[in-house]
Structure 1
Amino acid sequence: MKPIMELDNVEKTIYNDDATLNILDGINLKIYPQDFIVVLGTNGAGKSTLLDAITGANKVTAGKILLNDKDITTENLAKRAQFISRVYQDPKLGTSPRMTVAENLLLAERRGLPRRLRSRRLKEHMPEFKEFISSMPTLDNRLNTFTEKLSGGQRQTLSFLMAIIQKPELLLLDEHTAALDPQTSADLMAATDRTIKSKKLTCLMVTHNLSEAVAYGNRLIVLKKGKIILDLNTEQKAKLKEEDLLEYF
């Protein structure tokens, strides 16, 4: 099976007067179709920088990034957004507060398409959007609600739905449940897992949560000082316990 994405000896280096710091230090990673990879690591391990490198938000210093065998290392953020979606930790990022839930979904559905003046045809999309959010009970009957009126959990659920509406080649989740209360976080994480499996998405999820790292995904990688120090497959991960991961922190 060919990987959807391959990171080949990727480095991100910061230079200053005192020292040279490799935030990413020789990252080699292959992401295969329908992989759900959990990325674990302490603060400063390079987790968010890894996602920035994949999306193009932060250019790498060395190495290559391949998407379906195509070198995208120098492609910009906008171009990669046609194939890669990201959900951030902050529920306020990724949505437009002065637009309704339906309007946000319409905007996400047209991501990467040519911009031109025409009727948005929002009413025609309403049945489609109603069906689309049906698996997320927290957004029931809220298609016409302005996003700024939603709770943090509802807004993060909307961000997740916007990220997957076009079924991206790769979905990136950047601690997307960390800013929520425990129950809302657990509910969204369970819904995330169901959706990834049912829609056969390929996903890379960053987390600090040891229980999430053990419970979800078919692979687990641990980052430390910009290096991948652990990469567990499905069988290895199934034998893992939370206490096994403490030695890496």
Structure 2
Amino acid sequence: MQFLKLPYELITDTNITSNEFRIYTYLLSRYNEEKDCAYPSIEVISERVGISERTVSTSIKNLVKLGYMRIEKKSGVNGNFNTYKKFKYLINGIVKVTKKVVKTATEKAKEVIRDKKPLIVSDCKERGIQMEIEEITPFTQEHQQKISLILKQGIKLTEKQMWLIGDMDLETLREAIRLFKKKNGRKFALLINLYLDAAEKNLIDISKDIERYLCGSYIRISQEEKETQEALIELELYGVPYSA
């Protein structure tokens, strides 16, 4: 999965059409820092953004005319091709990741693998850098987002609580955090109670794990065990007998 950070000025720019915006942002996403340009063909751009080649060519000419970028022609094995340079809205540092950040992330990754603890990379996200870490953490991107939201409230989380947060509805959690701030809360216990109130108001189901946690009997199980339990419950609902 690839992410691209765009400036507010480009998003709200009314001087270009929606097609020109899509084509321009696609070219930004294909920018190669080492070569200092983007160089997809008209055919590739057309295929990726779902716009006819004729419209792509016309839009690119208009973007160049308006000063959003420059075109330089290059010679290749298969003939001449265009390179796109001098982007008006290219944010410095989108593609470039400093050695220090990479080193820090690598060290954290090693710690995760060694200690089997989840890795939260909010620092990298705040710098405009999105990192793929699915291979070294059991948490999904949305799960990490929920954890980061809670950590920003100054709450210290246990590993059990980090796992539990994955069962929370994101928007309901945001609502609970707003109430948590108004009450100057400090403890996870208050936040989860506010979450329960918001979930009840919004008719959001509470997971069995959250219920067990509140009763003091929560024990984290593996994803495989969880899927097995869900399958058995589904079989039972359809009246299919099974043996433990």
TM-score w.r.t. structure 2 length?
Answer: 0.23
Highest relative contact order (Cα 8 Å, sep 6+), 1 or 2? 1
* Structure of larger gyration radius: 2
Higher strand share: 1
User: Higher helix share goes to which structure?
Assistant: 2
